[in-house]
Chains A and B, each alone.
Chain A
Amino acid sequence: MAIPHIRFRQRLTLAIALPVVLPLLLSGISIWQITRLLSALESVDRTGQVIAQANSAQKLVLDMETGFRGYLLTGESEFLEPYEQASALIEPSLEELQNLVADNPSQTQRIVELTAEFRRWEQQVLPAIARRQRGGLEPLSELRSRKQLVDQMRQQIATFVATEEQLRDQRSQRAQAATQSVIVTSGLLAIGIGVILAYFIYRQILRVSQAYEGALQTAQARTQESEQSAISLQRSAQRLAALHDVDRAILATELDKPLIDNALTQMGQVVPYQEALVAVFDLEAETAQVLAGIRQTGDLTMPVGTRLALADFAPEQSLLHGVRYIQNLPTAESCPPVLVRLRSHGFLSCLCVPLRVNNTLVGALNLSSVKPAAFDEEAQEIAVEVANQLAIALQQSRLRWRLQATNQQLQHELQERLQAEMELREQEQLFRSTFNQAAVGIAHVNSDGRWLRVNEKLCQIVGYTRSELLQRTFQDITYSEDLDIDVAYFHQMLADEIQTYSMEKRYIRKDHSLVWINLTVSLVRKSTREPDYFIAVVEDISDRKQAEDALQQLNDTLEQRVRERTAQLAETNQELEAFTYSVSHDLRAPLRTMQGFAQALLEDCGDQIENFCKSYVDSIIDDAVQMNGLISDLLDYSRLTRTQINLQPTNLNEVVAEALKQSTAQIEEKQAQINVAAALPSVIAHRSTLIQAVTNLVGNAIKFVASTTQPQIDIFAEETYQDEVRWVRLWIVDNGIGIGPEHQERIFRVFERLHGAESYPGTGIGLAIVRKGLERMGGQAGVESQLGHGSRFWIALPGVVLALNEETHDLTPPHSPDR
């Protein structure tokens, strides 16, 4: 306020100076006018004086003249006395009169003329007196002249006086005018100045008064401001108190519920909420958790620890956009579930402040009130401040946890390292002793092949001392024939083409003998992948080599023998093939035509042949059929030995059914009764070979029965375990003639027959095929029998491993074989 202050002083100065200056001016003007008036009055006075002086001078002249005339008349001197007295006075009187009118030339001129006339009169008087004294008479001329002079003088004075009186009148009038003008101007001036002063003072006072009022208002405003700032200071103090707890939490870098509660309580003194909740967000999991809360009355709408979806708490978008203030909850649109809950608890307004750190949303502060629009701007500001502090505190707290976790991890790692170091030391000790005391030679070799470190065993193997060995390279002591391969490997390894190699080679011992060793080499590389050194493990294999050599020789011999035998076998096999081929074609062809022509003979010429002759032809046909069967069986048998057999799970039910089907003619012919167990298991077999075997066994069972007996055959299976392998044994039990124990092995051989063709015709190959077939399938075949008591033939094959859901088979023989 410097400028108003200066203006104020200027105005004050003006207000004081003007009333002083203006009366001074008025006084000056009055003095000047009064001076003029005085001067006018003075000149009137002087004119009066002049007139008086002129009258006085006239009187003196008259006195002189009177005295003189008396004297002349009387001659007495006493009449002369007035003359004499006046004569002494008249000169100064005239001089004075001249002085008085010195400013008026015409008057002065008159005085000068008067003075001159007087002197001329006097000059005439004096001789007249003198003549009178002598008694003489006065001439009349002189009298006349003197009288003329006196008249002139009188006239002169009278003019003078008249002039002066005129002057005096003029001056009196002028003084009077001056007096009037003084009075008028003084009055006008006094009025003018008074008006000016009054106006000026009014103005000044008005201004000062305005300035004062302005100042007063400012002062009042200031006062109000300071009052308000006092109030806000108090609020700030409360805010500070509220924030102080949060600060403490930040300083302590921990945030527990009581601290937050305290902060919220503090805030409650300045922010009119009924419930305050602090929730932290996990943005990755999209959940929010209530961390702390305060409700003035009653329980929290959401207890501490409540976890809910972030979307339930508030749409993230809205929180990112800043404070959300819902003035009237019941009318608010699209409330998230949390707000709905608040509403249901009777809250009418709500302030949701995001807790953000560096633009990262970490949580929210939710203030609710039972009054609508409860949070004014200041409350919001405070809430935001508290929220900011809380956010920082939360973040700090999180950082601290992270720091602690990192610390723990570091400590853990440190311990692990220490542990590892100890283990490393132990291992190093272990390795050192392993290296030195190993039962194999171990060495480190540099990339030139020079031995860097060698153990005792290696020295023993090559017969050099350690120091001798360290002066050599591996090339020096490698047998020349083995060197190229080793060096080639060595370079491959340096080139990173192979990681490791093993080879058997020979070293030249110090005593020049050779020693076979098995060498295994690996390469240790530096962290830059440059080769550092090789690790060579050297095992003395002289003994093994000797044994191997011997074995090799033996093997060679054996292989030679096997080759020879194989060649022989191949030759035999080839011969057999040719034989089989020949049999199947050439041997059969004549048989077939023989049978064909015999049939043709019967058909074409049957009526020309005697009956007994027809029986001859029948015999030829029978034999041909017999021979054809034999050849077929032989070929079957032969094929069994040669063809490839693929084993696979085979259902015995199907196999038995197929075999019975193939034997239908035989069964019907003999009216055989056949009982097959309900469910037979599966086996690992070659299906067609197995069918052939079963067919042969069934055929035998039907065939070798006394002619008076009806064949009865039971077919069933049983399971046995042998060497933990599940075996299935299929039994074909007949009521036939039986087989004596001495023949029970023979019957499985080719062409072995126990009976003549007339009683039981056959080729003698059937059982051989059974046994051979079973052998090819990895199974077995056999018989239990007693002469006259039937036979119990069996075949055994590996069973199929039962699946869990497979039904249990009835493996027991039927109760009544007669059924």
Chain B
Amino acid sequence: MNTEHTILLVEDNPKDVFLVQRAARKAGITTPLQVVSDGDAAVGYLSGDAPYGDRAAYPLPVLVLLDLKLPRRSGAEVLLWIRQHPHLRRLPVVVLTSSRQYTDINHIYDLGANAYIVKPPDLDQLVDILTTLNLHWITYNEKPQFDMM
């Protein structure tokens, strides 16, 4: 496993964070998982604003797991911001959310999400999902080049 990479989890529900982290652990994922709990924090982290200025402590992620229903700035807004960002626009973003509403799905794909996954109530399924995501995006996927900030 490549430990140099980082996954950013944008999730406001600490229970969900816990369950995801647990599932990641169960899936044997060693990639560091950074967590921010709202949309603004996600944008701040990606921008390198305080308190995330130190890129050694808060490295740029190779994958963003993005919830949609977030305080302050919604997941859709964060996604839009990333896609319009001159340097980060190619960053892989997987939406991980509770909603299965079709209008949401279409809208999020229109904004440029790389995948849309509904959080499963079943823990085993969550482990499966994280295993798959890790294999797909961290292990096998060729990372895009980011323009220097």
Q: Which residues of A contact B (CB under 8 A)?
A: 580-581, 584-586, 588-589, 591-593, 595-597, 599-600, 603, 624-625, 628, 632, 635, 639, 643
Contact = CB atoms under 8 A, between A and B. Distances in A.
Describe B's contact surface by its main secondary structure: loop
A595 B15 CA distance: 11
B99 interface: yes
Contacts of A595: 121-122
Contact of A643 (B68, B102, B124): B102
Given A624-B121, A625-B121, A596 B15 contact: yes
A596 B99 contact: no
Nearest to B101: A584
A596 B23 CA distance: 10
Contacts of B101: 580-581, 584, 635, 639
A692 to B, nearest CB: 13
Given A596-B126, A603-B123, A589 B102 contact: no
B15 A593 contact: yes
Interface string B93-111: 0000111111000000000
A762 to B, nearest CB: 19
A632 B124 CA distance: 20
B114 interface: no
A585 B16 CA distance: 13
B90 interface: no
B69 interface: yes
Nearest to A586: B69
Nearest to A593: B15
B15 A585 contact: no
Contacts of B126: 596
B19 interface: yes
Contacts of B22: 600
Contacts of A643: 102
A584 B121 contact: no
B119 interface: yes
A643 B97 CA distance: 21
A581 B102 CA distance: 11
Interface of B: 13, 15-16, 19, 22, 68-69, 97-102, 119-124, 126
Contacts of A628: 121
Contact of B98 (A580, A588, A603, A624): A588
A585 B97 contact: yes
A128 to B, nearest CB: 217
Given A584-B100, A600-B22, A635-B101, 15 more contacts: A580-B101, A581-B99, A581-B101, A585-B68, A585-B99, A588-B98, A589-B13, A592-B16, A592-B98, A593-B19, A596-B19, A596-B121, A596-B126, A599-B122, A635-B100
Contacts of A589: 13, 16, 69, 98
A632 B101 CA distance: 10
A12 B2 CA distance: 158
A593 B16 contact: yes
A653 B14 CA distance: 47
Nearest to A591: B121
Contacts of B16: 589, 592-593
A639 B122 CA distance: 24
A585 B98 contact: yes
Contacts of B98: 584-585, 588-589, 592
B74 to A, nearest CB: 11
Contacts of B121: 591-592, 595-596, 624-625, 628
Contacts of A596: 15, 19, 121, 123, 126
A597 B120 CA distance: 13
Contacts of B119: 592
A600 B99 contact: no
Contacts of B19: 593, 596-597, 600
13 contacts: A581-B101, A584-B99, A584-B100, A585-B97, A586-B69, A588-B98, A592-B119, A593-B16, A595-B121, A596-B15, A597-B19, A599-B124, A603-B123
